Structure 1
Amino acid sequence: MSTAANTALPAAQSLGHGITCIDTEQMRAGLACCYLLQQGDEAALIECGTSPGVPGLLARLDQMGVKREQVRYVIPTHVHLDHAGGAGLLMRELPNAQLVVHPRGARHLIDPSKLIAGATAVYGAAAVKQMYGEILPIAESRVIVADDGHKLDLGGRELLFVDSPGHARHHFSVWDPASRGFFTGDTFGLSYRVFDGPRGPWLMPTTTPVQFEPEAWEQTLDRYLSHEPRQMYLTHYGAVQDVPKLAGELRAGLADYQRIALDAAALGAQRHAAIKQALYDWSLQQLRLREVDIAEPLARDWLEFDLELNAQGLVVWLDKQSVSH
């Protein structure tokens, strides 16, 4: 790893099949996105971003000539705030939209007080306000609860909802037969374009507290592959192809993460620091193996936020393991 990688990405990128990837302006360009689906005169947004990014997202719709009345659905894959924090503000501005949400997540977007409390416990009140802004409730009458197998019609285009635990129990993915692609939220890992190399994209797991469940995640990957997808639309960040290969690499990463956590299990109060350092070592080694041309300080800068959360989530997972055995 030597020179700094080029991080410039377009704020909106057409991916074909009526799908546009739009940066949701969280922390830095290329970190998080949502997807605009257009079919006939109707549109849907998969993922919402955070409230501070909503004005930019609405401005992007205006620039693309998408009327706010045309947006029929707002679809966060799960209720972590980088995916759903802006849902209330978006719904306020999209008069005909219905929110489509996982059964385990619906109550938290109708009344977001527990989401706010949970994020505050992790980040602190000042950071939550800065990162996520105002998190507005959504009227229950505007909410569609999408169980596993739920189907929606978007201008004659069918979308299928697939329960996809592993990262979170309140997580679904959206299968789009038109593009043969899944909108995967976080359950096909993270893959930042800054880490692309000669061997293609690099996927890393995301074990954000508090519902990392590796066995369920393996089953989710099996379900993904059963559809023979051509591409996966990641929230962090963009579309990736060569799905079977990447699924295998993600499985290997999940196994390595569990080994790293278990190796630190006996360290008591030092577990978090040991796990985070091991995740850094593992990540930088993966980038070296893939011959990714990025300076180590920039790589560490991109990794820091996720590896802090991943370490926290692995400590929670270890605690659950010790209780169950």
Structure 2
Amino acid sequence: MVDTPAFGIHTIDTGFHRPAFDACYLVVENGRGAFIDTGTTHSLPRLLAAVEAAGLQRSAVDWVIVTHVHLDHAGGAGALMQALPDAKLLAHPRGARHMIEPLALLNGARAVYGAQEVTRAYGEVVPVPAGRVVESHDGMVVELAGRPLVLIDTPGHARHHHCIWDERSRGFFTGDTFGLSYREFDTAQGPWLLPTTTPVQFEPEALKHSVQRMLGYHPERLYLTHYGCVEGVPRLGEMMLAQVDEIVALGERLRPLPAAERHPALMAGLAALYTARLQRLGSTVPRDDALALLAMDLELNAQGIGIWLDRAR
């Protein structure tokens, strides 16, 4: 699915996991293109169809920018680069090497999901030739046919994470730093947003600093990977920061428990936090349906909080 673009920004549903779950973006300016995030290798036909639908030749795509190297964001980068002969891949300096040699990245995913699930969900992860990889730096400006895209270092979800500021749209491409917002939960009050604390580099103070830094740009919209463009950013920023504090308080309360007891307690605590937020927002999604939609997030966020607690200890 490709949406009707505003500001030359095409939202592409990568098809990962379920509809309207995982997005990447094609930014088009004066006949040139840049992808931001890629989805998985299975997403490749949708991404190439978006290039064609935008009226571009594949040789007109100058950049493939991955916000970070988690496989739902960057797993398809190598395959996409093979199809885009003139593009450069731009990655955070902590993540660039994993685009060139993805074995450690794959082994990390296998440790979380299992080898069979990684193969099923992500397909073959193709290395990117080192000569086509560019490392970002904080404050770096990429010019897309005269349109500046500014990269800022945004740790907290992952240390290898940067976000991209686009002055034209007054929007940030946020990867996972500014959380997740699934369209099923939208209400008359607006979208709901939750932090993602998936393994293994959740760092709450760094995450809050990154969010506050992004809010300092006074963005009018956020282009989330999970999922799509959302507005009303000041409200979402307050919601995001408050929930990080709630998560920290939950983790600290459960810290003394043995790991085998702590994980289910974390999942139950997160479920209670999420459903309370949804109720206050006026969500009409039944509780069981909401928890089913959030099942993967509950599991992975609890894992990530547990790793943070153990590391802090």
Pairwise same-fold verdict (TM > 0.5) = yes
1:43 aligns with 2:33: yes
Secondary structure, aligned partner of 2:257: helix
1:293 CA displacement: 1.2
Structure 1 unaligned spans of 5+: 1-10
What does residue 98 of structure 1 align with? 88
2:253 to 255, 258, 263: 263
Cα deviation digits, residues 86-105 of structure 1 (max 9, x gap) = 00000001111100000100
1:59 aligns with 2:49: yes
1:114 CA displacement: 0.3
Cα deviation digits, residues 226-260 of structure 1 (max 9, x gap) = 11111111110111111111101100110111111
1:278 to 265, 269, 291: 269
What does residue 123 of structure 1 align with? 113
Structure 2 unaligned spans of 5+: none
1:75 CA displacement: 0.6
1:15 CA displacement: 4.0
Q: How many residues align?
A: 312
What does residue 7 of structure 1 align with? none
1:298 aligns with 2:289: yes
Cα deviation digits, residues 282-307 of structure 1 (max 9, x gap) = 11111111111112232112100011
What does residue 6 of structure 1 align with? none
2:12–2:46 Cα contact (<8 Å) kept: no
1:223 aligns with 2:220: no
What does residue 10 of structure 2 align with? 20
What does residue 157 of structure 2 align with? 167
Secondary structure, aligned partner of 1:204: coil
Structure 2 Cα separation of the partners of residues 275 and 131 of structure 1? 26
Secondary structure, aligned partner of 2:164: strand
What does residue 311 of structure 1 align with? 302
Amino acid at match of 1:115: L
What does residue 203 of structure 2 align with? 213
2:237 to 241, 244, 247: 247
Alignment of 1:61-100 (within 5 A): 61-100=51-90
Structure 2 Cα separation of the partners of residues 70 and 295 of structure 1? 46
Kindly indicate whether structure 1 or structure 2 has the higher relative contact order, using CA contacts under 8 Å at least 6 residues apart. 1
Identity percentage of aligned residues: 47
Structure 2 Cα separation of the partners of residues 61 and 21 of structure 1? 12
Greater Cα shift, 302-311 or 289-298: 289-298
Secondary structure, aligned partner of 1:12: coil
Secondary structure, aligned partner of 1:20: strand
Structure 2 Cα separation of the partners of residues 168 and 266 of structure 1? 25
Structure 1 Cα separation of the partners of residues 274 and 265 of structure 2? 14
Amino acid at match of 1:90: L
TM-score with structure 2 setting the length: 0.98
2:227 to 237, 245, 259: 237
What does residue 288 of structure 1 align with? 279
Structure 1 Cα separation of the partners of residues 36 and 277 of structure 2? 30
Amino acid at match of 2:310: D
Amino acid at match of 2:180: L
Runs of 4+ in 1 over 3 A off after TM superposition: none
Structure 1 Cα separation of the partners of residues 51 and 15 of structure 2? 14
1:151 CA displacement: 0.8
1:195 aligns with 2:185: yes
Secondary structure, aligned partner of 1:137: coil
Structure 1 Cα separation of the partners of residues 135 and 282 of structure 2? 44
Amino acid at match of 2:303: Q
Cα deviation digits, residues 13-59 of structure 1 (max 9, x gap) = 13411111110110110001001100001000000100111122212
